[in-house]
Amino acid sequence: MSERASFEEDEKYMRASLTLSTIIFWLAWFVRRSMKGLPKLCVISSDHECTSDETYDLVEKCRKAGVEVKHHSQKYLCHVYALLPFLPEAQAAEKQIVDFLTV
């Protein structure tokens, strides 16, 4: 039983690592491409997450390509803070997204 539990823990770790690596790979790939012709974007981020630099690069590149970008950034929050409804910052992010979609 202990071997199986260890295997399941290893599998969870590998999935989490692959998911994070995949996100970083695609974000880095996307930032290197032309942004011209994209629709308007709403970007919600934290200044203290693992992809903060790439997020700012993406926003800057989109703006230079003439894409309308609304970027809302918070300090001292985790990568997925906007998905945590019990945080006041997440509630504010939800409102920003709704406002963006309904304008």
Residues with Cβ < 8 Å from 50, sequence gap 6 or more? 20, 24, 79
Where in the sequence is the domain holding 25, given as residue range(s)?
A: 2-102
pTM > 0.85: yes or no: no
Quick: pLDDT tens for 5-61: 554 555 555 455 555 566 666 666 766 778 888 889 999 999 988 889 888 988 998
Number of domains in the chain: 1
